[in-house]
Chain A
Amino acid sequence: MTAVLTPPSATPEAPADDAVPPSARSRAPYLLLLPGLLWLALFFLVPLVALVSMSLQTGSLSEGYRLTWHWATYSSAWSTYGDQLVRSFLYAGAATVLALLVGYPLAYAIALRAGRWRNLMLVLVVAPFFTSFLIRTLAWKIVLGDEGWVVGALQTVGLLGENGRLLATPAAVVLGLTYNFLPFMVLPLYASLEKVDPRLLEAATDLYATPARAFWAVTWPLSIPGVVAGTLLTFIPAAGDYVNVQFLGNPGSQMIGNVIQSRFLTVLDYPVAAALSITVMASVLVLVLTYVRRVGARELL
């Protein structure tokens, strides 16, 4: 066992034979954790501390910043950009719900009905990743454009007014978010649906469940882990996204990601940008924990 547990990066304290002194044996797990801990410290903890510290500093780029524990940055950032913050979570939530509505039937079909087409369909789900995120979003700009066939078709059937448009509306942003994060919804859903034992469905049918009832009583609860994973993987990045608004939205549909981006890169207002980043991070954390507790605790444990 010791030989297996010793990390490959030669650690002379824990030689790889059976005659290891007990102290070295007890150190082994910590040594194994070391690379991961270092990684976390370097790429998560240090930037996080830097960000928190920046959000509490005052000054300017030319004069330099000093840590003054200026908490007021937060309250002023919230009052100024509260709309964008709320909007981010609303858009991300809408996109997550849409992605679930589209992704669940798709994942179900791939996992349980596709047969020999299964692998091909999975490749098609992943295929968009072969092109850049930006290019794909730009493509949507053309698809949803005022001269595009989508708008034309919607105008013909009367769902869109004479001068109605899709581009530069919140709907376009939500659609873009849904599209861009759909694979993150489909893949975990597929993974959990694929594991549902078809014999359980037979048993349910044998026990007087119609196919619809069998779905709600067996398939759906057993796929909850995939639903939780898929919604988190969609919601979290969607809440922080700024590309979709930039290409498909308008100034009135700005999300918090756009604000942070412009504060950091255009206005060079580092403390507010940092304060907003921390706020987004904390809000997502709270939302996710609440969600996992409510859905997860009941179904996963």
Chain B
Amino acid sequence: MPDAHRGAPRDLRLRGLRKTFGDFVAVDELDLTIPAGSFFALLGPSGCGKTTTLRMVAGLEVPTAGQVLLGEQDITGLRPYRRPVNTVFQSYALFPHLTIEDNVAFGLRRRGVKDVKGAVADMLSLVELDGFGRRRPAQLSGGQQQRVAVARALINEPEVLLLDEPLGALDLKLRRQMQLELKHIQDRVGSTFVHVTHDQEEAMTMADTIAVMNHGEVEQLGSPRELYERPATRYVANFLGQSNCLQGRVVEHGVDSTVVDVHGTLVRLPGTHGTRGGAQSLGVRPEKAVALAGQRAVRDPAFANAVAGTVTDVSFTGLSTQYVVRTGWGQDLAVFAQNDGSDVPADRGDEVLVAWRPEHTFPLRDASPVVEPEAAPLADAAR
């Protein structure tokens, strides 16, 4: 693909970006740097401000305050048709009165490019729609329309491609397939992709970097693995997968470790956190914990953290067995046991120890009251 108009790739930077609608603060003081050429995901529940952020980058929404920068160039006040940014809309917004070819050629024609045939054909073959050029959008399936929307945006070789929940309207199987295709296309064209989604699995599959948004702010920024293994807040811990969150008080600080008293049980976690005697939240992923049934179990010394409880629910999902264990202080903990044949399955009513390695324990920044893991993202979104 020709690369004529583009200089050195430029980072997309948001500086103190804010948008209010009346009294409602949609985006609050957002600072974000999106490196050139990265596949960046803005992840959050609906109403968290991610689409508004995207629209401000596209120029379809005027920020109340703050700046949008491409490299050193301030594009905050530029009209959308003057920005080297293109969008794949959630609804695709294909022009119903134009053929697929004319839809894809739309941006080039508006910029005065006369000979668009070759570029359009190349782009249609990139999205595997050769031979569909003469059809109308209504004659295509949802997945095909989605790819036309991608082609229509990409043909302009934007510095930044914005994707607003582009796969939301597709069924699960097609969505998985399109996730891989989009990732593949991004590898080939090298533009910066900013992808807005509420689907954590989609964000994890596709993005190099994810920003988890909540209430118009970024809760945490990092690679999918970082976010999953070291969620910084209770919100992130429960929005990306499931977590058991525990609440306690710091008892002592060791060499690169902290001991927290959780309702009388001492739990160790790596690193120095909190102040002695102060409140500290921590968490562990259900699949990192094991449920050891009574005296039958031989306890691996590496699984140093252990909390006693009673199994209140067992569900067998094939791949794993999921236990719900009620602790002495009445909190439900989730434990996922891989169905690899090594475990003695526990039964409902069994007394068990929920044990995990200290290095799998992560500290959580906020010391808010305990929220049930399943309910947490929704409750947070509705608040």
Q: CB within 8 Å of B: which residues of A?
A: 197, 199-200, 202-210, 213, 217-218, 221-222, 299
CA distance A205 to B96 in the complex (A): 16
Contact B86 A202, beta carbon cutoff 8 Å? no
Q: Decide if A222 touches B81 in the complex (CB within 8 Å).
A: no
Indicate if the CB atoms of B81 and A203 lie closer than 8 Å: no
Q: Are A202 and B93 in contact (CB under 8 A)?
A: yes
Does A207 contact B89, Cβ atoms closer than 8 Å?
Answer: no
A207 touches B60 (CB 8 A): no
For residue A301, give the distance in angstroms from its CB to the closest CB of chain B: 10
Q: Choose one: B95, B97, B111, B156; the contact of A203 (CB below 8 Å).
A: B95
B-chain residues with CB within 8 Å of residue A213 when the two chains form the complex: 110
- Per the bound structure, the CA–CA distance linking A209 and B81 in Å amounts to 6
B223 CB → nearest A CB, Å: 29
A206 contacts across to B, CB distance below 8 A: 58-60, 80-81, 85-87, 153
The interface residues of chain A lying within 8 Å CB-to-CB of B107 are 207-208
For residue A222, which residue of chain B has the nearest CB? B97
What range describes how many residues of B lie at the interface? Answer: 20 to 34
Q: Is the CB of B95 within 8 A of A200?
A: yes
Question: What residues of B have a CB within 8 angstroms of the CB of A217 in the complex?
Answer: 95, 106, 110
Identify the closest chain B residue to A199 (Cβ): B93
Tell me the B residues contacting A by CB distance below 8 Å: 58-60, 79-81, 85-87, 89, 91, 93-97, 106-107, 110-111, 152-153, 156
A210 to B81, CA, bound (A): 6
Is there contact, CB below 8 Å, between A205 and B97?
no
CB < 8 Å: which of B91, B97, B110 contacts A199?
Answer: B91
Residues on the B chain within 8 Å of A203, using CB? 87, 89, 93-95
A201 to chain B, nearest CB (A): 9
Tell me the complex Cα distance, A202–B88, Å.
11
How long is the Cα–Cα vector from A209 to B156 in the complex, in angstroms? 13
Besides A202-B89, A205-B60, A210-B81, 6 new A-B residue pairs in contact (Cβ under 8 A), listed by A number:
A199-B91, A203-B95, A205-B59, A206-B80, A208-B111, A209-B81
Instruction: Please tell me if the beta carbons of A205 and B80 are within 8 angstroms of each other in the complex.
Output: yes
Sample of 20 A–B contacts (CB below 8 Å): A197-B91, A199-B89, A199-B93, A200-B95, A202-B80, A203-B89, A203-B95, A205-B79, A205-B81, A206-B59, A206-B60, A206-B81, A206-B85, A207-B107, A207-B156, A208-B156, A209-B81, A209-B110, A210-B81, A222-B97
Least Cβ–Cβ distance between A177 and chain B, in angstroms: 31
Number of A-B contacts (CB under 8 A): 62
Complex CA–CA separation, A299 to B85 (angstroms): 31
Given A213-B110, A217-B106, residue A208 in contact with residue B89 (CB < 8 A): no
Instruction: Return chain A residues, CB-CB under 8 Å to B81.
Output: 205-210
Tell me how far the C-beta of B222 lies from the nearest C-beta in chain A, rounded to whole angstroms. 29
Chain B residue at minimum C-beta to C-beta distance from A208: B110
The CA of A25 and the CA of B75, in the complex, are separated in Å by 67
| B95 contacts across to A, CB distance below 8 A | 200, 203-204, 217-218
Taken together as a complex, chains A and B put the C-alpha atoms of A222 and B59 apart, in Å, by: 24
A221 touches B87 (CB 8 A): no
Q: List residues of chain A with CB within 8 A of the CB of B85.
A: 206
Smallest CB gap from A202: residue in B:
B60
Alpha-carbon gap, A210 to B59, bound state (A): 13
Least CB distance from B178 to A in Å reads 19
> Chain A residues with Cβ under 8 A from B80's Cβ?
202, 205-206
Instruction: Please indicate the chain B residues that have their CB under 8 angstroms from the CB of A204 in the complex.
Output: 95, 106, 110
Q: A-B pairs with the 10 shortest C-beta distances?
A: A203-B93, A207-B107, A208-B110, A205-B80, A199-B93, A208-B81, A209-B110, A221-B97, A206-B87, A207-B106
Q: Smallest CB–CB gap between A198 and chain B, Å?
A: 10
Smallest CB separation, B46 vs chain A (Å): 17
Q: Which of A200, A207, A209 contacts B152 (CB 8 A)?
A: A207
Instruction: Please judge, given known A-B contacts A207-B86, A207-B152, A208-B81, whether A200 and B93 are in contact too, CB under 8 Å.
Output: yes
From A200, A203, A206, A222, residue with most partner B Cβ within 10 Å: A206
Cα A205 to Cα B93 in complex, Å, equals 12
Q: How far is the CA of A207 from the CA of B151 in the complex (A)?
A: 12
Complex Cα distance, B296 from A232, in Å, reads 89
The docked-state distance in angstroms from the alpha carbon of A213 to that of B79 is 14
Measured CA separation A55–B87 after assembly (Å): 65
Which of A197, A202, A203, A217 has the most chain B CB atoms inside 10 A of its CB?
A203
Of A202, A209, A222, the contact of B96 (CB 8 Å cutoff): A222
Question: Contact: A207 with B97, CB < 8 Å?
Answer: no
Residues of chain A lying within 8 A (CB to CB) of residue B59: 205-206
Q: Which residue of A lies closest to B83 (CB)?
A: A206
Report B247 CB to chain A, min CB distance, Å.
Answer: 45
Q: Which of A207, A221, A222 has the most CB of B within 10 A?
A: A207
Closest to A209 in B: B110
Q: Is A197 in contact with B60, judged by CB distance below 8 angstroms? A: no
Contacts of A200 on B, CB cut-off 8 Å? 93, 95-96
A227 to chain B, nearest CB (A): 13
A299-B97 contact, Cβ under 8 Å, with A207-B152, A208-B107, A213-B110: yes
Rounded to whole Å, the gap between the CB of A237 and the closest CB of chain B is 29
B352: min CB distance to chain A, Å = 54
Contacts of A218 in B (CB 8 A): 95, 97
Given contacts A206-B58, A206-B81, A207-B110, contact A197 B156 (CB under 8 A): no
Q: How far is the CB of B124 from chain A (nearest CB, A)?
A: 16
CB-defined contacts of A199 to chain B, threshold 8 Å: 89, 91, 93
- Residues from chain A with a CB closer than 8 A to the CB of B58 are 206
CB distance from A159 to the nearest CB of B (A): 39
A209: B residues at CB distance < 8 A: 81, 106, 110
Complex: how many Å from CA A213 to CA B95? 14
Least CB distance, B18 to chain A, in whole angstroms: 22
Which residue of chain A lies nearest to B112 when distances are taken between CB atoms in the complex?
Answer: A208
Nearest to A197 among chain B residues (CB) is B93
Chain A residues within an 8 Å CB radius of B106? 204, 207, 209, 217
